[in-house]
Amino acid sequence: MEATEKVVPRRPSTASPELIEALVRQFASRVLFLRAAWHRGDDGAQNPLQAIQREARAASAAIALTPHGRALCMYLLPDETKAFGDPGAGLFMWVASQTVQMMQAIEDGEPEDAIKPKIDAMLTDIVARLNGQKY
């Protein structure tokens, strides 16, 4: 390699940055929707955990992790990866857990204005990691 060549960082996903952004944010939104429907007792509302796991597996397939991305998720989230057998699904289940915990904080009386930026920061961090902008 010549001294003038720029090293391009490996991306954890083969999906486009725009698709990753949409998938991560839509997944978090869907988690909240499923949880709210279950809490309201909506007709057809099913166990949110099973539904969220299905959504996590679908999102995992859509982000198309590279071998580097799979290893990164296995390193960052070893327990989740072991629990779900798929590093991408483990990542999305972690996102679901964080999202629900933050929503529970709002339900417990914390100001929504204080929690929403935390959710956005967490989702932005995940998107940056999947796009290879942050390690």
The DSSP code sequence of 3-69 is TTPPPPPPPSBSS-HHHHHHHHHHHHHHHHHHHHHHHHT-TT---HHHHHHHHHHHHHHHHTB-HHH
* pLDDT for residue 116 is more than 60: yes
pLDDT digits (tens, 9 = 90+) for 57-75: 999 999 988 888 888 888 8
Q: Domain for residue 78, yes or no?
A: yes
Q: Domain for residue 8, yes or no?
A: no
Q: Domain for residue 98, yes or no?
A: yes
The answer to whether the predicted template modeling score (pTM) of the entire model surpasses 0.75 is yes
Q: Domain for residue 76, yes or no?
A: yes
Q: Domain for residue 2, yes or no?
A: no
pLDDT digits (tens, 9 = 90+) for 76-86: 888 888 888 89
pLDDT digits (tens, 9 = 90+) for 44-58: 777 889 999 999 999
Number of domains in the chain: 1
Structural domain span for residue 84: 22-130
